[in-house]
Each structure stands twice: as structure tokens, then as C-alpha cells.
Structure 1
Amino acid sequence: MNKKGLMMVSMSAMLALAVAGCSTTKDGGGTPSNSPTAGGSAAPKNVSLKIGLPGAYDVTKKEIIDGFIAKYPNIKVEIQDAPWGDFVTKIATQIAGGTTPDVWLQENAVILGYGKRGVAEDLAPYIKRDLKDADYIPGLYAAKTPEGKVYGIPHGINPVALAYNKKVFADANIPLPNDNWTFNDLIETAKKLTKNGADGKPAIYGFVGNFTITQGWFPWIKQAGGQALDSTLTKSMFNDPKTLTGIKQLADGVKQGYFTSDDFQKANGGEMQTFATGKAAMYILQYSNQVAINKNFPDADWDVVKLPKAVDGKRYVPMVTNSWLVSSKASQDVKDAAWTFLKYYLSDESQNILASSGSSIPVKKSAFEVIEKSTTKPLNKKAFTEGIAEGGVTLDENPSWTEWRTAAQPIITDIVKGNIPAEEGLKQVHEKVQAVLDKNK
């Protein structure tokens, strides 16, 4: 799991700050008359802009920040950085005290929570004015609410694909996965690839069983036609029989011994090492994990295909997103400067730098060429880029995502580990998640 993408912070009660709505009244320039500044998109002269960087330049490429400073000398940039955990702890106090940076990034679900509390500016009017949807993948709108407000711009997209160990397949003389696979193909092939050792216990498994959300249970419920939440993101769908089917398929694989158990993974250095060293043939892999595999297991022979298709014939590719937000408390001049920074971040120049990093996928389509031409493993990076273009989905994120996911996860973990029947466990999950959603209406 991408710890940057899913790191959580418990937020205390924030000051209720009014977010200016996007008026439909227009001035002579044909743009909304309140926010953003009507009549033009140029950043004001001689303005100071505080940019918050959790994780500092380990997370945000310094070349992008330096490029922005060089291109816009009229904007005086102040960087506020700290280790990720320290930053997100401090930001809660800064929000309460009205001393936040003008623009900063955090997890997408947290950004949505900020929007609900009036902390984050609605960027929908800016996007409508200055960007062309055709230039970007749908992930541009990862922080969009059902009501149409957009509280963040992606810092990067971290989707999943199906990784496979070529040696394990070759040794078993079994055809490699392909983009037409369904999850049933994955299950049946995993059974064939599982081999016992001299002690009669599996020494090689067909698939890495994972109980976390992005690489584990969420893809499984989506492929079965299930959901975590409904389309309004206000009702739990953990009582949906299709959601139960997906969870049971994952849990049955672990129970019946063709998916790795948690104990097996721990005994073999973790899920990534289990896969890279050929003790498991397949693995739902987040894009950012390629960096660690290539660094720690350079001799591993592996590649990826798109995540298998669901029972309805469609593809659903979960993606983790960190997002930039603009403080709603900033003056309009500073908001315009912040938007100028975000437009620069979304430009070809910056998106190509992000694409070259290998740590996440940009949202501008033109930068995909940089990714797809890369010669580092996996070679088939189109499995990620085309996968999210075809079926990228967020993790049913809403303002209470951190809370409801935290309530659901321990029970789902027990289900996948075989400690509680799926039917009983999901009933508990449904009740707990719905209670969280009702409390946060």
C-alpha cells in the first residue's frame, strides 16, 4: 500500500469557514463574477504564496517547484515542508488558527473533508475557465463531490494493475495473463499455479492474498458487481449480495490455499518480496511499488497486465490520489496565484517531470508517452495508463472516508484471515459504516 496515499490523520473540529459558491451571474468577461477573479486568469503581480509540502521533496519533485519560481518571478514563494506525519498533525492546528499555507497537498479523502468544513476552495470554476477536459484523464476530478464541487487537483494518481512473475508461469508451462482476463480467470489460474513443497504445504501460491483496501478487498467487490457505498456516497452497500460475493472469493482463496495467507507473506518478507522472489505468481500491484521492486529485486522477471474485467464485462481500476487544495481563507489575489501554481503543475513541463519519477501517474494525457516509453520494469506500463483511462475509480471517497474505512477494515481483515464468516462480518461492517455515514450527514 502507498503509505503516502493512505496515511490517515484524525481531524479535530475545525472552524466553520464559508466557501464562496460559484455564481451563475457573469460579468462582461464571461467568467463567474465572484470566484475566481472575473475577467482573466493571470496571476497578480508581486504576491506572496505559501506552498505546503508534506514529505518535502521526497514527495513533490523539486524541479517542479524550481520551474514555477523561475517562470513566475512576480510570485514570491515560501515553502513550508515537514515529514508527512508531522505536517498532517500540524495542519490541524493551523486550520483552527487560520495559519495554513495557501496551497498544500494531502490525501484525497482528507481534502474532501476539508471541503465540507469550508477549508478548501471550490476549484470547479477555475477548471471550467482554464482547462480542457479532453487534455486530462477523468482522475482530474478525483476530488469532485456529487454536487459538482471540486476541492482538489491531483498531485498524482496511483492505480493498480495485475502483476505476474514470468518465471513462475514459465516453470508451470501456463500461458501468461492478458488484458481479456476476468477475475474468474485469475482464480482458476491461481489454483493451477499453486504447488506444494516437500512438507506437503504450498511453497508457491498462485496469487498474493491481500486484505487491505486498494490492493485487496475493494477490487474484489467491484469486480463482483458490488460497492462499498452507493452513488450518493451516503449509504453503505456492504449488505449488497454482490459485495458479499467479492469478499468471499478473496477469503475463499486464502482459506482454500491458492492465495497466500498473511502468515505466509510475513514469513517470506512481506507481500512484495513474496511476489518478487517467485513464491507467489500474481499480485495486485500499486503503480508506486514498481520503484521498490526494481530497487530491491532488480533480477526479478515480471510484468503487468490490466486489472481483470468484472462480471459485467467492464473494468474497474482503483486508484489512490493525493491532491492539492487552495485555502478558502486566502485573499482572492493569493487564490489566483495558487491557481497559477496548480495550472503550472498540470502543464506539460511539470506533468512530464512527474511521469519520469515512476512514483505516480500524471493526469495529463500527453505525459503518458513519457511513462509508456520507459524501459524500467514493468515494460507494459500501458496496463496502468490505459487501465485508468478505461475504468479508473476512486475508493468511494467522501468526507467521512477515513472514519468509515477505519470502522470497516478490522472486520474485513478478520473475514479474509478466516477468523469470522463473511456473512456475519459484512453485516457488522454494514451497520458500522452506515452509522458513520448517518453521523456525518
Structure 2
Amino acid sequence: MNKKGLLVTTMLALTVAGCSTSKDGDKPSGTTGTGSSTTAPKNVTLKIGLPGAYDVTKKEIIDGFAAKYPNIKVEVQDAPWGDFVAKIATQIAGGTTPDVWLQENAVILGYGKRGVAEDLSAYIKRDLKDADYISGLYAAKTPEGKVWGVPHGINPIALAYNKKAFADAGAALPNDNWTFNDLIEASKKLTKNGSDGKPAFYGFVGSTSITQGWFPWIKQAGGQALDSTLTKSMFTDPKTVTGLKQLADGIKQGYFTNTDFLKANGGEVQAFATGKAAMYFLQYSNQVTMNKSFPDADWDVVKIPKAVDGKRYVPMVTNSWLISSKASQDVKDAAWQFLKYYLGDEAQKIVAESGASLPVKKSALQILETSSGKPQNKKAFTDGIAEGGTTLDENASWNEWRTAAQPIINDIFSSNISAEEGVKQINEKVQAVLDKNK
């Protein structure tokens, strides 16, 4: 691992089958008039940026790319995630970025709007088959049809449950037909008070974060944060308010955990893993911590409960790869060849086996579903996103509007303000951010 604050460049002799330049201005190079791939690649140097280094992107993938394709010399630029993010801002300003790198999906959307990222829609149309991938392939797609990146990995949520807690309570285990009302009623029955009369064991972890907290609650109630164009705030929608109130009521009335309890018990994952709460909206990546730090915990997962409309909405967090719009066309072609390899069977199998995120290729998901280790029911994640995977209403200003909304949402869950009054303030702040970023 590199020392913090340093960006290390490692030279690897890699090769890649790429494409020759095309005179068609609206198509990626190496295409005919019908969009089919044609010629062999040119010799170029490709700079690949890896925030988090090989802890985030498996070295086997880079090595596999090197072994398979002999024409591209690759410079791997890696650093701890925070150092990389700080460095990339300076590189963008100076025009010295890597040719292809990954960051949070919302950041990638912002880069696309600023002209930093290449639109990959034509490349995808030419070389990939939609039927081979889950809908998360288009996590970085805008309402206008631009695609500013492709997934590095998908991190959805499912409903995790503590088997012992249900057995002790004589309660039926959760199943895929549960609704959010079923979750609420089970939480009430499972919650137990201590000798002081206060809850010592909770039915459900009442997370206040966006992914495992308020976003799935508003979606299941029929609400949304933004409209379909991602330009209008929808926080004052009565259905959005209903979802927020359901979560807030659970925290206030004591059958969902509160912030103080979670702080005293090591946070959300630890509170669930150590048997202080019976259920939790677990992100897929959290299973790595569960298996490593709490191997004796007896737990499994089912799909996130169904919404009021009978459908299922499964929030998923995505990191995405982008190609620099400033690279030469030959380098863009080489970068896309790398991303095609990353989205292919060989690399997607490695992503699946890492346990840190889900692949987007369906064939790799099928491999994952038969793997051993907890959770046993991995199909709760894979089938869940196939049925109802959804991003977090991400747009180019996602980080900004989410940051504006979260303190007021926290006040709602702390009972410092009513949901009805809070959403008015949220709506005003979020809409101001959206209008500023039009």
C-alpha cells in the first residue's frame, strides 16, 4: 500500500485489442457505417486511475487484461481513496487526469455535465448486449440518454434478519412477500424492554442515512426525492411525507433503533451483528464485515419488502468508470477496450468473487448465487436488483442536494421538527440546488 498522500505510477506492460480511428464523428472509432467492430488496435499508452488501489479494484483484473491483450502499455495510477479524490480535482483543472478511472456514480454524472467524461452510449450500443446485463449497467445514464460511465460494481440492499431473535420470539421469519407494514408489525413484536423499561433489543435498525434509511422508506410509500427529470424536488409529495413519517414513528415510538442507541452499540452493522436488533437493511458490501468480524452471527437475508403498489424498489449504490473526454481518440478506444474487458465474463467473475460489490453481467451473478458463505440467500440481492433495482435519484448535483437535505431529515428523525414542516424546508433547499445547477 502506498504512503498516504502519494500518487504512485506503476508501469505495466499490457496489451489490448483496440480499434483504429474512424472518420465518423458520431461513432466510436473502429466501426463501419453499421456500427460493427472492424480493425486491430494501435500501440498507445493508457493511464488507469485506481482510487483505493488494489483494495478496491482487484489486481487480477489488471493482470488479466495485461495477459490477454498485448498492445497497450498501461500506467496504473493508484492512491488511497481520499488522496485520489483530492488529487483528481487538481488534475482535471490542469488537464492531466488518467485516461480512465472510477469514482462515485453521482460524481461521474457531475463530470459528464462539466465535459470531463466521454459519452459512452455509442460504444455500449455497438459492443454490448443489453440482455447480458442488469439495468444497473445504465446507472450513469441521464434522462437525455447520455451515458457518462459504466459500473465498477453494484451495492444493493436486502432485509437481513437475526434467526435467533425470531426463534426466541416464536415469530415467523421474514419472506419475499413481506410488505413494509409486515416489517413494522414484526418490529413491534420483537422489541424488548430492559429492566429500566427502555428498549434493550429492537425489532429493526432505524438507519437515518439515505441508502439504508429514508430513501427506501419514501420509495415504498410511493414517494420520491426528485421527479423523473431529476430537476424538481418532490419532498413535499404526500407519499414522500408518509414514508418519512413511518420511519420517524418507528424511531420515536421505540421499535426501531435510535441514533443514541446505535452510537452506544458500535453502529448499525455491529448492533445487528451482535444481536441488539432483529432486522436491518444491509448493503451487500457489509456482508464482508459481517463474515470477517462476526463469523458466529446466525443471519440471512430476504428481498427488501414490497411497496404499497406491490412492486419492489431496491436502492443500489454504484461506483462507475469513466473515460476522459480529453484523451485522444486512440486512447479512448484503448480505454473502452479495457472497460469491455472489465464488463466481460473473466473480470466480472472476479468482481463477483470479491464479495465487495455485485457484478452487472448476469452470467457472473449466476455464479455468485451458488457460492458458499453467508448470507446463504444471495438471490435476495441478485433477484432483488433484477426485479426493482433503482439508483438514489442521482444527478449531477446529487451530492449537493443530498447534503442540503440530510440535516433537516436528521431533525425529523430526532423529533426536533415534524415531517410536514421539515419537508417544506427540504423542498426549498433542494429545489434551490437543482435550479442553480440547471
Letter in 2 for 1:107: E
Q: How does 1:85-104 map to 2 (within 5 A)?
A: 85-104=82-101
1:103 and 1:338 in contact (8 A); partners too: yes
1:321 Cα deviation after fit: 0.2
1:32 and 1:125 in contact (8 A); partners too: no
Equivalent in the alignment of 1:170? 167
Distance 1:183 1:103 in 2: 41
1:179 and 1:308 in contact (8 A); partners too: yes
Whether 1:289 and 2:281 are equivalent positions in the alignment is no
TM-score scaled by length of structure 1: 0.92
1:43 and 1:340 in contact (8 A); partners too: no
Distance 2:47 2:102 in 1: 12
Whether 1:195 and 2:187 are equivalent positions in the alignment is no
Letter in 2 for 1:277: T
Distance 2:398 2:267 in 1: 27
Match of 1:427 among 417, 424, 427: 424
1:35 Cα deviation after fit: 3.2
1:43 and 1:333 in contact (8 A); partners too: no
Between 1:412-421 and 1:49-58, the stretch displaced more is 412-421
| Identical pairs, percent | 82
Matched residue of 2:173: which SS? coil
Q: How does 1:148-297 map to 2 (within 5 A)?
A: 148-297=145-294
Equivalent in the alignment of 1:304? 301
Matched residue of 1:206: which SS? strand
Distance 1:301 1:51 in 2: 41
Residues 35-73 of structure 1 show CA distances to partners (whole Å, capped at 9, x for unaligned) of 311333656221110000000000000000110011112
Distance 1:41 1:378 in 2: 44
Residues 271-326 of structure 1 show CA distances to partners (whole Å, capped at 9, x for unaligned) of 11111111100000000000001111100000000000000000000000000000
Whether 1:348 and 2:348 are equivalent positions in the alignment is no
Unaligned 5+ residue runs, structure 1? 1-28
Equivalent in the alignment of 2:71? 74
Letter in 2 for 1:72: Y
Equivalent in the alignment of 1:51? 48
Whether 1:377 and 2:374 are equivalent positions in the alignment is yes
Go from structure 1 to structure 2 and tell me whether the alpha carbon gap of 1:43 and 1:434 turns closer, same or farther (over 3 Å shift). Answer: farther
Residues 132-165 of structure 1 show CA distances to partners (whole Å, capped at 9, x for unaligned) of 0000000000000000010001000000000000
Q: How many residues align?
A: 412
Letter in 2 for 1:238: F
Q: How does 1:120-135 map to 2 (within 5 A)?
A: 120-135=117-132
Matched residue of 1:80: which SS? strand
Letter in 1 for 2:399: T
1:43 and 1:337 in contact (8 A); partners too: no
1:43 and 1:336 in contact (8 A); partners too: no
Equivalent in the alignment of 2:27? 35
1:406 Cα deviation after fit: 0.5
Distance 1:143 1:256 in 2: 39
Equivalent in the alignment of 1:409? 406
Distance 1:405 1:290 in 2: 26
Distance 1:117 1:44 in 2: 29
Distance 1:239 1:310 in 2: 19
Go from structure 1 to structure 2 and tell me whether the alpha carbon gap of 1:349 and 1:423 turns closer, same or farther (over 3 Å shift). Answer: same
Distance 1:271 1:32 in 2: 53
TM-score scaled by length of structure 2: 0.93
Unaligned 5+ residue runs, structure 2? 1-21
Post-superposition, which runs of at least 4 consecutive aligned residues in structure 1 deviate over 6 A? none
Letter in 1 for 2:196: D
1:182 and 1:311 in contact (8 A); partners too: yes
Q: How does 1:314-333 map to 2 (within 5 A)?
A: 314-333=311-330
Equivalent in the alignment of 1:3? none
Distance 1:398 1:47 in 2: 33
Residues 192-213 of structure 1 show CA distances to partners (whole Å, capped at 9, x for unaligned) of 0001112211111000001000
Whether 1:147 and 2:139 are equivalent positions in the alignment is no
1:163 and 1:285 in contact (8 A); partners too: yes
Between 1:315-324 and 1:366-375, the stretch displaced more is 366-375
Whether 1:313 and 2:310 are equivalent positions in the alignment is yes
Equivalent in the alignment of 1:136? 133
Distance 2:119 2:296 in 1: 47
Matched residue of 1:360: which SS? coil
Equivalent in the alignment of 1:113? 110
